[in-house]
Amino acid sequence: MEIIDLGHKEYGETLAMQRNLFGSMVERKKTGQPVEKEYLLLVEHNPVVTLGKHAKESNMLLSEEMMAQSGVEVYHIERGGDVTYHGPGQLVMYPLIDLEAHHSGVKDYVWMLEESVIRTIAEYGVKGERVAGASGVWIGAGSDRERKICALGVKCSRFVTMHGLALNVNTDLRGFSLINPCGFIDKGVTSLAAETGHECDMEEVKRLLSGHFQDLLLKRLLF
């Protein structure tokens, strides 16, 4: 697996890169050839709102024109899930992998994405949890302060994946006021910095998150 740290990169450029890699991988699968290389893209985006294929536009609290006037781009994309926000201080991870080669299905894959985040934030003393019927990683699950720290949405074709997860590390959470995050109106959002009380080293979080994800993939491959 090649880990590509893109640093800060515009969403549109990253999306084009993903689609190019994804298309090449799927084409190999269609012709019965093995996928030669898998990729793990790590990136921070400038403010952008993305809507999954089943998203409700009513979950954007401003029109696309008003978003643009505020310097926020809007993209309608092919992942699952509803609407989410990306911005500086948020670590986005896009794995482009062949699930078939890892003896995994989409349900297993989503579990691995969530688990990699849960294990990463645990190293900062933060307890991440799953919430039934809501993908991603949550803090204070089941309480009246239930809040989301990581959103995820994926696309899979011929067992090849694209899109992935967004972990709020040092994110300015005011950006989420533009939307109903993931379609929810009664749940909050949070960040690793908000939970720990201090800014976190992004390079360290990248290393931990990519390491935990690769460990989980390797275990699936071996067992």
Question: Which positions are catalytic?
Answer: 182
DSSP string, 105-154: -HHHHHHHHHHHHHHHHHTTT---EEETTEEEEEESTTSTT-EEEEEEEE
Which residue pairs, CB below 8 angstroms and at least 24 apart, start in 107-116?
A: 108/220, 109/154, 109/156, 109/161, 110/135, 110/152, 110/154, 112/213, 112/216, 112/217, 112/220, 113/152, 113/154, 113/164, 113/165, 113/213, 114/150, 114/152, 115/212, 115/216, 116/209, 116/212, 116/213, 116/216
Matching residue, tokens 């809007």: 74
